[in-house]
Amino acid sequence: MKIVMLGAPGAGKGTQADMIAQKYDIPHISTGDIFRANLKNGTELGLKAKTYMDAGQLVPDELTCDLVVDRIAQDDCAKGYILDGFPRTIPQAEFFTAALAARNERVDYAIDVEVPDENIVNRMSGRRACPACGATYHMVYIPPKQEGVCDNCGAALIQRNDDKPETVLNRLKVYHDQTQPLIDYYTEMGVLKGVDGTKDMKEVFADIVKILED
């Protein structure tokens, strides 16, 4: 079961990927984790990536794909895996499709967690974080007992820059420009499945399970 998760930042795809990984006992793989592991272990691919990162450049698509393919070749991926945050662009998707084809494999499902931009802005702009102990809250869904104050340690809560409406809108624009074409790409491959991400988290998960087990 080889799954690619798609969805805008804040759509909840990471949470769903965790739940799928747990249910089917397959790894939830993010490119961030792969980069960190390769850098920490000083692998040849990791050192190559580091030269770009140290220069403040993006790691090239082909090298990113090599890192992902190296990760999915590991034993814990024998039953499958969920990719979260990769591919981000059409060139990455094309490299990945070719790399899988060389192994006589292909992506089984590309699951798109669909949430309107307006909902995402409301979701993310409601987030608050404690700078002291790291606890997180949401002004609507998980409010602190006292407004603006952390339940755990009493520190004043902050809104992270990433969660400010203008930043969220900018990230959504980048997503639509770069990643939206992937939806067309995987639709043409016949593997795209969309789920309504505005539903309750458990309902979204049930919808995904239905797709995977149909």
Catalytic residue among 2, 71, 127, 128: 127
DSSP 126-148: TEEE-TTT--EEETTTB--SBTT
| Residue 171 annotated among the catalytic residues of the structure | yes
pLDDT score at 210: 97
Question: What's the pTM value of the predicted model, to 2 decimals?
Answer: 0.84
Q: Is the pLDDT of residue 214 over 90?
A: no
Catalytic residue among 13, 71, 123, 128: 13
| Average pLDDT over the chain, rounded to an integer | 93
Q: What is the pLDDT of residues 56-96, one digit of tens each?
A: 888 899 999 999 999 999 999 999 999 998 998 999 999 99
Asked whether residue 166 is domain-assigned, the answer is no
| Residue 123 annotated among the catalytic residues of the structure | no
User: Taking the CB of residue 75, how many other CB atoms lie within 10 A of it?
Assistant: 5
Cα distance between the two ends of the chain: 13
Asked whether residue 121 is domain-assigned, the answer is no
Q: What is the pLDDT of residues 126-162, one digit of tens each?
A: 999 999 999 999 998 899 999 999 999 999 999 998 8
Structural domain total, the chain:
1
Q: What is the pLDDT of residues 173-201, one digit of tens each?
A: 988 888 889 999 999 999 999 999 999 99
Asked whether residue 132 is domain-assigned, the answer is no
Report the alpha-carbon distance of residue 159 to residue 64 in Å, rounded.
32
153 neighbors 132 (Cβ within 8 angstroms): yes
Per-residue pLDDT band for 43 (boundaries 50, 70, 90) equals very high
- CATH number where 102 lies: 3.40.50.300
The average pLDDT across 111-135 equals 93
| Residue 127 annotated among the catalytic residues of the structure | yes
Pairing of strands 136-138, 127-129: antiparallel
Catalytic residue among 103, 160, 173, 210: 160
For 9, the domain range is: 2-116+179-213
Three-class DSSP labels, 165-197: HHHHHHHHHHHHHHCHHHHHHHHHHCCEEEEEC
pLDDT score at 33: 86
111 neighbors 4 (Cβ within 8 angstroms): yes
Asked whether residue 192 is domain-assigned, the answer is yes
| Residue 88 annotated among the catalytic residues of the structure | yes
Catalytic residue among 48, 50, 88, 199: 88
Catalytic residue among 48, 50, 164, 171: 171
Report the alpha-carbon distance of residue 98 to residue 6 in Å, rounded.
19
pLDDT score at 175: 87
Element housing 90 (H / E): helix 90-102
Q: Is the pLDDT of residue 36 over 90?
A: no
Percent of the chain with pLDDT over 90: 75
Pick 27 or 177 by higher pLDDT: 27
Asked whether residue 44 is domain-assigned, the answer is yes
User: How does 97-134 read in b/e, with b if 16+ C-beta sit within 10 Å?
Assistant: bebbeeeeeebebbbbbbbeeeebbebbbbbbbbeeee
pLDDT score at 9: 86
Asked whether residue 107 is domain-assigned, the answer is yes
Asked whether residue 138 is domain-assigned, the answer is no
Q: Which two tokens stand for residue 117?
A: 């931009």
Report the alpha-carbon distance of residue 74 to residue 76 in Å, rounded.
6
pLDDT score at 105: 95
Which residues, 6+ apart, have CB-to-CB distance to 64 below 8 Å? 31, 49, 86, 92
pLDDT score at 83: 96
Report the alpha-carbon distance of residue 27 to residue 76 in Å, rounded.
7
Asked whether residue 68 is domain-assigned, the answer is yes
